[in-house]
Amino acid sequence: MLNKKVASFIRQHRLLRPEGRYLVALSGGADSVCLLLVLKQLGYSVEAIHCNFHLRGEESDRDELFCRNLCDEQQVPLHLVHFETREYAQLHKVSIEMAARQLRYRHFFQLCQDLQMDGICVAHHQDDVAETVLMNLIRGTGLKGLSGIRPRQDFNFVSNNVSVSPSDSQVLHVFRPLLCVSRDEIEDFLNGIGQKYVTDSTNLVDDVMRNKMRLRVLPMLREMNPKASENIVETAENVAFADEYLERKVEDDIRGLIGENVFPEASTTLSIPIEKIENEYVLYRILSRFGFVSPQIKQIFARLDAPTGTEFCSETHTLVFDRGCLLIEELEKIPFRELKIPEEGIYRIGEHAKLKIERFHREDSFQIPREKHVVALDEAEVSFPLTIRRLRDGDRFRPFGMKGSKLVSDYLTDQKRSLLEKRRQLVVTDSRDRILWLVGERMDDRFRIKDSTEQVLVLNKE
């Protein structure tokens, strides 16, 4: 009966392929022993992996020996790994529980890669789902937390780090075929075939939240309703369906706001029209990808009428209100530093650009450059050393072709430049701090080539 139930669940959720090869996480407890035997009886090609975390002394060694003997009896290949879990937890400053999780999943991933397995099967069951939903509810959660544990989960690895868009070779596929059965059903199955298992003594002490939920809360709920666990699981499945639908709707809304490119290149600015922002959750889904945390996002949403110049920063990005838009841009990894230029030559500016300065004698064949990244100046009007720096408040220049001066900020506003673009704007000044060139935009008319010009200074931003 249990075998048929699990087989039906596997088909319903398209978890395992008949021709696939799978690892089974085998602890020696009732759940994992049941999983191994059921998958083997259903005809799947399985191998077992047992992790000894060395946390329970002789009991840990007992569990390992049991798994060895079971796999020998069942003629199932067994892979053993030993972890110094406490040392890892201290080194990485994480809890013992988190250390064990990180160690085993990284090893699962590597073993699947080495053995060319299609994924790993773990023995979560219905009661685990009910416990997880109730714990998440107590802590406070959203729809995903109320969805419980899903039948399939993919973990992305690139050198043990999460990847944004991994290839299949960087993914650990985790399958949970026993989510359709309860702990009681598992024990009944094992008792029915006379199969022994081991019990982790730490699971019998209600000293942590999950144990309290398992040993005290769920039994109390079952007294009120024998189907309490089953009903919680069914509710979690309904929430999961609703969450999947909402996710598709949210993704459509995100594309409506910012297009397909949710992760812009570091050199680009993401612009979100404020008038189109109607839902805080959609804004959260966008901004959280750039390091902004929930309290910041709540504040941003509450202040969508904030004036131009209002700014918020995450660890990686800055967000600025600018003329009806939210502008998001990656923070500079290396802050720009102004550079003194004593003479002609090639100078590195920032991470990727160079400024080339050359002096030419003006001849009849000399052509004034028209490209925006190059400018030709009357060398006689320029006094070294030059400086290349960022725009400052109050900077003025005389745009080429004009007689009067103008604030650079006003000029850039007229050119429809955003607040972040203004901040990035570079200028080249001479020793008297006169702006020679608004880099990539326009030169100052006072330094233009005249009929009397003999020597030309050419500035080229490469």
Asked whether residue 388 carries a pLDDT value surpassing 50, the answer given is yes
Query: Is the domain of 326 the same as that of 353?
Result: no
Q: Please tell me the distance from the alpha carbon of residue 284 to that of residue 281, in angstroms, as a whole number.
A: 5
371 inside domain: yes
pLDDT at 140: 86
Query: Is the domain of 202 the same as that of 320?
Result: no
Asked if residue 385 has a cis previous peptide bond (ω within 30° of 0), the answer is yes
Which are the contacts of 104, defined by CB distance < 8 A and separation ≥ 6? 25, 51, 83
20 inside domain: yes
pLDDT at 161: 39
Query: Is the domain of 321 the same as that of 419?
Result: no
pLDDT at 159: 41
Say if residues 269 and 421 touch (Cβ distance below 8 Å). Answer: yes
245 inside domain: no
Mean pLDDT of 294-315: 94
| Residue 46 identity (one-letter amino acid) | V
Average pLDDT, rounded, for the chain: 89
- pLDDT, tens digit, 9 for 90 and up, residues 323-365: 999 999 988 877 888 899 999 999 998 777 899 999 988 876 7
User: Judging by DSSP bridges, how do beta strands 45-52 and 78-82 pair with one another?
Assistant: parallel
Residue that terminates a domain, selected from 295, 310, 330: 330
Q: How far is CA 96 from CA 58, 93, 103, in A?
A: 18, 9, 11
153 inside domain: yes
Point out which residues pair with 386 in neighbouring strands. Answer: 341
Residue that terminates a domain, selected from 305, 330, 355: 330
Total length of the chain:
462
Query: Is the domain of 322 the same as that of 369?
Result: no
Domain range for 302: 261-330
Query: Is the domain of 282 the same as that of 394?
Result: no
- Name the DSSP class of 276: G
252 inside domain: no
pLDDT at 321: 96
Residue that terminates a domain, selected from 330, 358, 374: 330
255 inside domain: no
253 inside domain: no
Domain count, the chain: 3
- pLDDT, tens digit, 9 for 90 and up, residues 51-69: 999 998 899 999 999 999 9
Token reading at 442: 């326009």
Q: Where are the beta strands (DSSP E) in 323-371?
A: 325-330, 339-341, 345-349, 353-361
408 inside domain: yes
* Confidence tier at 163 by pLDDT (50, 70, 90): very low
Query: Is the domain of 88 the same as that of 43?
Result: yes
Query: Is the domain of 300 the same as that of 365?
Result: no
DSSP notation for 394-440: T-EE-BTT-SS-EEHHHHHHHTT--HHHHHH-EEEE-TT--EEEETT
| Residue 119 identity (one-letter amino acid) | G
Query: Is the domain of 219 the same as that of 113?
Result: yes
Query: Is the domain of 308 the same as that of 351?
Result: no
* Confidence tier at 164 by pLDDT (50, 70, 90): very low
The model carries a pTM of 0.65
Query: Is the domain of 383 the same as that of 352?
Result: yes
DSSP notation for 152-189: EEEEE-BTTB--SS--GGGEEEEE-TTTTS-HHHHHHH
- Name the DSSP class of 255: H
Say if residues 277 and 306 touch (Cβ distance below 8 Å). Answer: no
Token reading at 350: 């920032």
Give the containing element (helix H, strand E) for 21. strand 21-25
Give the containing element (helix H, strand E) for 388. strand 386-390
Query: Is the domain of 315 the same as that of 343?
Result: no
CATH number at residue 388: 3.50.40.10
Query: Is the domain of 274 the same as that of 212?
Result: no
Q: Which of 391, 401, 455 is nearest to 424 (CA)?
A: 391
Asked whether residue 165 carries a pLDDT value surpassing 60, the answer given is no
Q: What is the separation of C-alpha 162 from the centre of its chain, rounded to a whole number of angstroms?
A: 7
Pick the more confident residue, 264 or 335: 335
pLDDT at 260: 66
- pLDDT, tens digit, 9 for 90 and up, residues 127-142: 999 999 999 998 888 8
- With pLDDT > 90 as the criterion, what percentage of the chain qualifies? 63
Q: Please tell me the distance from the alpha carbon of residue 282 to that of residue 274, in angstroms, as a whole number.
A: 12
CATH number at residue 186: 3.40.50.620
Asked whether residue 304 carries a pLDDT value surpassing 90, the answer given is yes
